[in-house]
Structure 1
Amino acid sequence: MNFGLASFNDYWWAVLLRGIVTLLFGLAIFAWPGVTLALFIMLFAAFAIVDGVIIAVHSLFAIGRDSRWWIKLLQGVAGIGAGVATFIWPGLTALVLLYIIAFYNIFEGILQAVYGITFRKEARGSLMLVASGVISVIFGMLLLLFPMTGALALIKVIGIFDIVLGLLLLLLAVDMLAAKSAARAAA
């Protein structure tokens, strides 16, 4: 079965929503310069759940159209799980929260890069998907390598990361929509 460019580009809306949510999360960190760890924990939990739901819904729309739908479903479940775990145990120490964020970004990044690689011959924007996945993995690894820096010190870094990732996802959504329009015009 070849799901091709049209199938990949049909989901530009999910990538756009993820880009908006990710960008807003990053900007929220800078909007509240005195953000406390407790507020950051709640922001992260809400972000992870919303992002996970968007990805899971995206995967469910792809069932029957894309044999790789399960990759996105795993990614969505990981996000929802990370968010729910954070809400259930808000008294987590900064170090445990840091590890949740690190593993969430590594797992999500690997799945996102794999998903992008599977579309490398079919979609121009797949390189941005792979790049955002690689950035997520690098970010997660840095959090694991330097945990003693502390979650409070990393809040701004996390904000910058999410702003960059959000912008990459927005660019990918625009590219996907343009490709979809070009394919429709060529048909």
Structure 2
Amino acid sequence: MRHRSLGTGKRLARNWWTVALRGAIAIIFGLVALCWPTLTLTSLVYLFASFWLAGGILLAIAAFQEQLPDIHSKLLLLEGIIGIAVGAIACIYPGITAFVLLYLIAAWAIGTGIFEIIASIQLRRVIENEWLPAVAGVVSLIFGVMLITWPVAQALAILWLIAAYTILFGTLLLILGFRLRSWGMKN
């Protein structure tokens, strides 16, 4: 088991840039949502679809780097496929209502949260005190539950909530990416 975990840690360290790039994309998305709160629903759909597609593609790249030798790579690929699929659906059907978009975002956040927590458990076996994926996962879960709990909140409040979440989530991923890079250079 130690051998598999070590491989996972090395793979994550080698692909640190995909984690950091996902974080940067999330931060940019959050800042755009904050700077232009008057975005139309269609613009928001396309903006979030781009975020999902880019994140999903980066996760799939990271998964295929090692040709899926273990469960971590398969989970990365699954998370990537879900992101790509949700992003594609949002691009193909941009006229979906805010209600449907809200539940898509909530489902994606909850799914991402679960995958990030699983990744954190695996990463802690290799890197001591690595808590960032767990925090990112918990933030995603809370965000998803909040969207499900208050689906009729005002559109601007939802936009601010989405922006705050993506900036926080992106910051955590960016920090994790650079910590993985540092860890990989030491090992």
TM-score by length of 1: 0.91
- One-letter code aligned to 1:156: W
The offset of 1:91, in angstroms, is 1.2
The offset of 1:116, in angstroms, is 1.5
- One-letter code aligned to 2:24: I
1:37 to 34, 41, 51: 41
> 1 CA distance for matches of 2:60 and 2:36?
30
Q: 1:18 to 1:133 in 2, by over 3 A?
A: same
Answering whether residue 35 of structure 2 is matched by residue 26 of structure 1, we say: no
Q: Give structure 1 stretches of 5+ with no counterpart.
A: none
Answering whether residue 165 of structure 2 is matched by residue 168 of structure 1, we say: no
Contact kept, 8 Å, 1:94 with 1:150, in 2: the verdict is: no
2:105 to 89, 98, 101: 101
Give 1:84-95 correspondences, 5 Å limit. Answer: 84-95=88-99
Large movers: runs of 4+ above 3 Å: 64-67
SS in 2 for 1:123: coil
> 1 CA distance for matches of 2:12 and 2:44?
34
Q: Give structure 2 stretches of 5+ with no counterpart.
A: none
Contact kept, 8 Å, 1:106 with 1:140, in 2: the verdict is: yes
Give 1:40-51 correspondences, 5 Å limit. Answer: 40-51=44-55
Q: Percent same amino acid at aligned positions?
A: 33
The offset of 1:66, in angstroms, is 4.4
1:178 equivalent in structure 2: 182
The offset of 1:87, in angstroms, is 1.3
Q: 1:66 to 1:10 in 2, by over 3 A?
A: farther
- One-letter code aligned to 2:76: K
Answering whether residue 117 of structure 2 is matched by residue 113 of structure 1, we say: yes
> 2 CA distance for matches of 1:7 and 1:125?
18
Report Cα offsets for 1:17-50 as digits up to 9, x if no partner: 1111111111111221322222111101111111
RMSD (Å) for aligned C-alpha atoms: 1.6
- Number of equivalenced pairs: 183
> 2 CA distance for matches of 1:64 and 1:173?
20
SS in 1 for 2:125: coil
Report Cα offsets for 1:115-173 as digits up to 9, x if no partner: 11112121247410111011111100110111111444301110111111111111101
Answering whether residue 71 of structure 2 is matched by residue 75 of structure 1, we say: no
> 2 CA distance for matches of 1:151 and 1:51?
24
The offset of 1:67, in angstroms, is 4.1
